[in-house]
Amino acid sequence: MTLYERRRRVGAIYLALCFASALFGIGCLMVILSTLLVEGFSGLSLAVFTQMTPPPGSGGGLLNAIVGSLIMTTLGVAVGAPLGILAGTYMAEYGRFAKLTVVVRFINDILLSAPSIVIGLFIYEVIVSRMGHFSAFAGAMSLAVIVVPVVVRTTEDMLRLVSNPLREAASALGLPRSVVIIEVAYRAARAGLITGVLLAIARVSGETAPLIFTALNNQFFSADLNAPMASLPAVIFQFALSPYKEWQQLAWTGALIITIAVLVLSITARALGGARTAK
Amino acid sequence: MVDVAIGDVGRDRAQKLAKTLSWLKLQDDGFRLLTLSAAIAVLLILGGVIASLVVGSLPAIRAFGFDFLTVQTWNPVTEKFGALPAIYGTLVTALIALLVAAPVGVGIAIFLTELCPYILRRPIGIGVELLAGIPSIIYGIWGLFLFAPAVQKYVQPPLIAAFGDVPILSTLFAGPPYGIGILTAGFILGIMVIPFVASISRDVFETVPAVLKEAAYGQGCNTWEVVRFIVIPYTRTGVIGGVMLALGRALGETMAVTFVIGNAHRIAGSLLAPGTTISATIANEFTEAVGDLYTSALIELGLILFFITFFILAAARLLLMRLERQAGA
């Protein structure tokens, strides 16, 4: 074999491996999604959306879990997103060259990839053990702590993309800094800011670990923030590990609902972000 | 008389203007202060996480001291707790995950930047990144009902048969094929973190100046040689940083692991045996923990996990920052 042939063969082998790994990645996505569709779709019925989670051995739905997930996610995002947007605003607008910004960015990155179960322990220590009982409020707060770093990151990035001449033009009209930020910078970066919030919603709507010891779970319908509350991920966790066929079926159906919601959110976020950068 | 009237009107307007201006200034300062305090709140959250974990684990630290890190027993009845099996399981599953995710992720990145036709780059890139968005509990339930049984049936028996007579490997792949266990958990973690490695590697591969690659092609290199001798050396720190970020993810991941690891508090020589990780132990036992010492031991596990991920992440950031500086220079 000549050197040339050898080089060609080695190259072909490695490139084939790269091709195979891409195939493997896409294949995994396909396998997981198709399993979810096959297993979850058969359990999808009106009862899933109208009935409560059942006791073992009988039929039922996921209404209380779906409502619980919606309540806690909404509350968590309502607390976390404004805080994140404000912090990101400071970093991109006021403190662009400040030491504090560098520190906050580093800390934020740590928070962004801190294990979510550790966030759950933190909220347990701060809220649950102080109040003496599990509550939907504690669950929502643990989600809020997860929302903050995601939103801070995207807000800072998106505000930095707003061109400076735009701000200078507004300042030249005599507008104060805060008005320039709110009326000009926020407006210019709107799509990006919404993208960040959508990504945060997608991230927390599937979170399980921090919920299982802050909001715990609840077999019954509850809108009381001061009491334990069911959520889809926690119900999936409990039902999937149970020996009952009906529960396992509901776990699959719940998994399908969450995945569809998360994928729709992240594709929407991507479309918005893509439109923004394309302009 | 007329002069005085005009002066009054002027003074009125001036006062109004001054009022508006001072109100605007107040609003301006208020907004600035609001954003500043939000930025500081981010710092306080991290401080709060560390402080609450330390305070929560004080009883366990007092009771077990340094032994907590070296003892294997985990007995809630006698309240004797040691973290070693959980730490071992965390590190080993993360290592297996890396062995799966690093080559596959870098392979995908090479495919996307060098081989893939332009029309397909965006859809395939998005598809891989969507994998990162799927909630970890989905990987858990998929792993429990489909992946683990498949591994038990098709992967583990051949492994046991193939390595049964080889020294060292025979202990790693020994025992009955349970399906669930450390190897399966590591594999699922690997699949979960592939997108992180892939997207960071792709980003840093795109920082390689086209001139460098063209020069190599001009010398007669083929595509693989350009990747091997130009792209990878140029981006080495960035790729390692990305792999370490993925490692951080794999270390802290909870739900996907909890479903398939088997939750056994012991260190088995075999990778096929059930084990546990820090996060799986916390998820499984926290709500059932009775007594302060039990809860406190679990919180100390959380503290250890946080420190491990913290150091890995800090190292990864430093590497990525160094690459950025290099790209800027």
Q: Is residue B9's pLDDT more than 80?
A: no
β-strands B80-81, B74-75 pairing: antiparallel
Model pTM score? 0.89
Where does the pLDDT of residue A3 fall: very low under 50, low under 70, confident under 90, or very high at 90 and above?
Answer: confident
Q: Report chain B's mean pLDDT, rounded to a whole number.
A: 87
Give the per-residue pLDDT at B3. 54
> C-alpha distances in angstroms, A155 versus A68, A265, B42, B263, B326?
28, 18, 14, 40, 26
What are the pLDDT digits (tens) for A208-239? 888 988 888 877 777 788 888 889 999 999 88
Give the per-residue pLDDT at B328. 58
Q: Which residue of B45, B303, B320 is the best one to mutate when testing the A interface, meaning the one whose CB has the most A CBs within 10 A?
A: B45
Q: What phi-psi label fits residue A80: left (phi over 0), alpha (psi between -120 and 50 degrees) or beta?
A: alpha
| Percentage, residues of chain A above pLDDT 70 | 98
Chain A residues with beta carbon closer than 8 angstroms to that of B196: none
Where does the pLDDT of residue B4 fall: very low under 50, low under 70, confident under 90, or very high at 90 and above?
Answer: low
Average pLDDT over residues A24-34: 88
Distance CA B284, CA B64 (A): 22
Q: Give yes or no for A67 touching B (CB within 8 A).
A: no
What are the pLDDT digits (tens) for A7-16? 989 999 999 9
The stretches of chain B forming alpha helices (DSSP H) are 2-64, 84-110, 118-133, 136-142, 148-150, 156-163, 169-172, 182-205, 210-218, 223-226, 232-252, 255-260, 278-285, 292-328
Q: Is residue B267's pLDDT more than 90?
A: no
Q: Give yes or no for A156 touching B (CB within 8 A).
A: no
Give the per-residue pLDDT at A278. 39
Give the per-residue pLDDT at B159. 83
Where does the pLDDT of residue A279 fall: very low under 50, low under 70, confident under 90, or very high at 90 and above?
Answer: very low
Q: Which amino acid is at A239?
A: F
Average pLDDT over residues B21-39: 91
Angle at B292 between CA B286 and CA B293, to 5 degrees: 90
With the CA atoms of B280, A33, A270 and A93 taken in that order, what torsion angle do they form, in degrees rounded to the nearest 10?
Answer: 0
Distance CA A118, CA A116 (A): 5
Q: Is residue B12's pLDDT more than 50?
A: yes
Q: Is residue A126's pLDDT more than 50?
A: yes
Average pLDDT over residues B121-145: 87
Q: Is residue B324's pLDDT more than 80?
A: no
Q: Is residue A59's pLDDT more than 80?
A: no
Average pLDDT over residues B142-167: 85
Q: Is residue B214's pLDDT more than 50?
A: yes
What are the pLDDT digits (tens) for A100-123? 999 999 899 889 888 999 999 999
Q: Report chain A's mean pLDDT, rounded to a whole number.
A: 89
Q: Between A and B, how many residue pairs show a Cβ–Cβ distance under 8 A?
A: 252
Q: Is residue B168's pLDDT more than 90?
A: no
- Both tokens of A273, joined, read 């972000």
- A77, A143 contact by CB (below 8 A): yes
> C-alpha distances in angstroms, B303 versus A133, B66, B252, B294?
22, 14, 11, 14
Q: Give yes or no for A252 touching B (CB within 8 A).
A: yes
Closest CA to A72 of A230, A183, A190: A230
| Percentage, residues of chain A above pLDDT 90 | 49
Q: Is residue B47's pLDDT more than 90?
A: yes
Closest CA to A231 of A213, A248, A246: A213
Give the closest-approach CA distance of A198 to chain B in angstroms: 12
Where does the pLDDT of residue B325 fall: very low under 50, low under 70, confident under 90, or very high at 90 and above?
Answer: confident
| Percentage, residues of chain B above pLDDT 90 | 41
Task: Return the residue matching tokens 């001449």.
Answer: A165
Shortest CB distance from A212 goes to which of B39, B287, B309?
A: B287
> C-alpha distances in angstroms, A166 versus A87, A173, A181, A188?
21, 11, 10, 9
Where does the pLDDT of residue A274 fall: very low under 50, low under 70, confident under 90, or very high at 90 and above?
Answer: low
Shortest CB distance from A87 goes to which of B27, B39, B258?
A: B39
Give the per-residue pLDDT at B205. 92
Q: Which residue of A14, A30, A125 is the best one to mutate when testing the B interface, meaning the one whose CB has the most B CBs within 10 A?
A: A125
Angle at B105 between CA B147 and CA B226, to 5 degrees: 145
3-state helix/strand/coil string of A111-128: HHCCCHHHHHHHHHHHHH
Give the per-residue pLDDT at B170. 77
Give the per-residue pLDDT at A121. 93
Average pLDDT over residues B178-200: 90
Give the per-residue pLDDT at A277. 46
Chain A residues with beta carbon closer than 8 angstroms to that of B147: none
